[in-house]
Amino acid sequence: MTESFTSAMRALVAASLVLAIATVMLVTATRARAAGALAIGTCGAYGEAFDFHSDDEARKSALSKCNGETCRVVATVKNGCAAFAIDFKNACGGHGWGKAGKLGRAQNVALRACYHDGGKDCVIRTFFCDAKT
């Protein structure tokens, strides 16, 4: 082999290693911020938090965004999604929430729970996915 070919191969290997290390660092950084929480209260009140470092941080943030004394955390997620549904015509009526690995599933669970709770015209009030799920 020629010396220029060997140098080019070494440069290619070095570039590949740098790219692989950068990819691992990016995936690790994304997973490190993978905690979310959903808090709900009466009459459609809610708070959400996602992409936090810990469940505790996500819970505190979600509760701080929920207006009302009855607010409570109903779901925490890691690398997943959550949704909250209410009755469109009666925000103080039927409601439901859901969590799942994918957004569509979380929304379906929330809507089914809303109808099961007596909602007549249930709609998604809010939803989120953490860590770019």
Q: Where are the domains of the chain?
A: 1-32, 33-129
The pLDDT value recorded for residue 124 is 97
pTM above threshold 0.85: no
Residue type, 16: S
Mind listing the pLDDT tens digit for each residue in 58-97? 999 999 999 988 999 999 999 899 999 999 999 999 999 9
Give how far Cα 3 sits from Cα of 6, 7, 9, 10, 11, Å.
Answer: 5, 6, 10, 11, 12
Contact 132, 99 (CB under 8 A): no
Give how far Cα 15 sits from Cα of 3, 26, 28, 58, Å.
Answer: 18, 17, 20, 38
Alpha-carbon Rg for the chain, nearest whole angstrom, is 22
